[in-house]
Amino acid sequence: MNTVPEPAPPGNPAFAPLIEMRGVNKHFGELHVLQDIELTVGRGEVVVVVGPSGSGKSTLCRAINRLEPIERGTILIDGQPLPAEGKGLAKLRAEVGMVFQSFNLFAHKTVLQNVSLAQIKVRGRAKAEADAKSRSLLERVGLSAHADKYPAQLSGGQQQRVAIARALAMDPKALLFDEPTSALDPEMINEVLDVMRQLASEGMTMVVVTHEMGFARASANRVVFMADGRIVEDRAPEDFFSAPESARARDFLSKILKH
């Protein structure tokens, strides 16, 4: 693991922005899915994005590594503007790991190959070196016994942990999680959240789109609440959950917390 400094709260002079979104706008046809998004994520910060479905939170997450191109505004990663499609973008994506709702492990590769492939082809590591790193990461997520299986032979929770190991293998500066537990059976959610909690406590910079409020409360430095393509609230988790400012957030919380 790369060593990351202690998370520094915004306002602190040591606060170094890693991801910055400035005036970001995007439409899906008529739908204005991202409206004037302003978001800064500091190094080592864990930002959890919550909100009703269709609020644009997934799109926001995917825009950060340009899986969704934006129409207006700028996105800076580590001070560098996100380049257009091409070599520069590929290089930048290697620095920002992504974990998907549907895992997206390479179906034709074994677990070990999944974790090693981009290390070899993108980072240019020797196969033995990559495999050694992959095995130690699989050990970390508790899956070293499954290294030679194919993704289809694993449970959803196991697949998602492999996906996290695959992202970590690139030594990313930040990790994006796009609803990482939404496709999982309830009993598997915790094994994935455990890995994420561990990463958060180690100081990994994370942007997490999720419906897991427990994770947001325990591990987030900040909670960003989105509705209708806008960031409505951006606050510390305690403040957000105990005293949401906006009616939208109060309504949202009342729906998800009471059942």
Partner 1 sequence: MKTLTDNWSTYWDGFLGTLSLFAASAVLSLVLGVLMAGFRVSPVRPLRVFGTVWVTVLRNTPLTLLFFIVVLGLPRFDITLPFYTFAVLALGCYTSAFVCESMRSGINTVPSGQGEAARSLGMSFGQTMSLVVLPQAYRSVVAPIGSVMIALAKNTAIAGSFSVTELLGTYRTINELGYSIIWTFFWIAVGYLIITLAISAVFNLLERRVAVSR
Which residues bind to partner 1, rule: CB under 8 A?
65, 67, 85, 87, 90-98, 100, 102, 104-108, 117-118, 121-122, 163, 166-167, 170
Give CA angle at 90 (30, 38), nearest 5°: 45
Q: Taking the complex as a whole, how short is the minimal distance between the CB of residue 117 and partner 1, in angstroms?
A: 7
For partner 1, the closer CB: 123 or 230: 123
Q: Taking the complex as a whole, how short is the minimal distance between the CB of residue 29 and partner 1, in angstroms?
A: 18
Q: In what order do the strands lie in the sheet with 174-178?
A: 96-99, 174-178, 205-209, 46-50, 222-227, 230-235
Question: Residue 151 and residue 46: Cα distance in Å, rounded?
Answer: 28
For partner 1, the closer CB: 207 or 223: 207
Q: Taking the complex as a whole, how short is the minimal distance between the CB of residue 87 and partner 1, in angstroms?
A: 7
75 within 8 A of 63, measured Cβ to Cβ: yes
Q: Taking the complex as a whole, how short is the minimal distance between the CB of residue 24 and partner 1, in angstroms?
A: 19
Query: In this structure, what token pair is assigned to residue 69?
Result: 């191109």
Rg (CA), the chain: 18
Question: Residue 252 and residue 139: Cα distance in Å, rounded?
Answer: 38
46 within 8 A of 219, measured Cβ to Cβ: yes
For partner 1, the closer CB: 66 or 248: 66
For partner 1, the closer CB: 57 or 222: 57
Cβ–Cβ contacts within 10 Å for residue 131, how many? Answer: 18
The H-or-E segment that residue 230 falls in is strand 230-235
Residue 58 Cα distances to 170, 171, 228, angstroms:
22, 23, 12
Q: Taking the complex as a whole, how short is the minimal distance between the CB of residue 89 and partner 1, in angstroms?
A: 9
8 within 8 A of 42, measured Cβ to Cβ: yes
For partner 1, the closer CB: 163 or 232: 163
Q: Taking the complex as a whole, how short is the minimal distance between the CB of residue 108 and partner 1, in angstroms?
A: 5
Q: Taking the complex as a whole, how short is the minimal distance between the CB of residue 146 and partner 1, in angstroms?
A: 18
For partner 1, the closer CB: 32 or 109: 109
For partner 1, the closer CB: 109 or 211: 109
* Burial of 99 (C-beta count, 10 Å sphere; 0-12/13-18/19+): buried
Question: Residue 121 and residue 254: Cα distance in Å, rounded?
Answer: 47
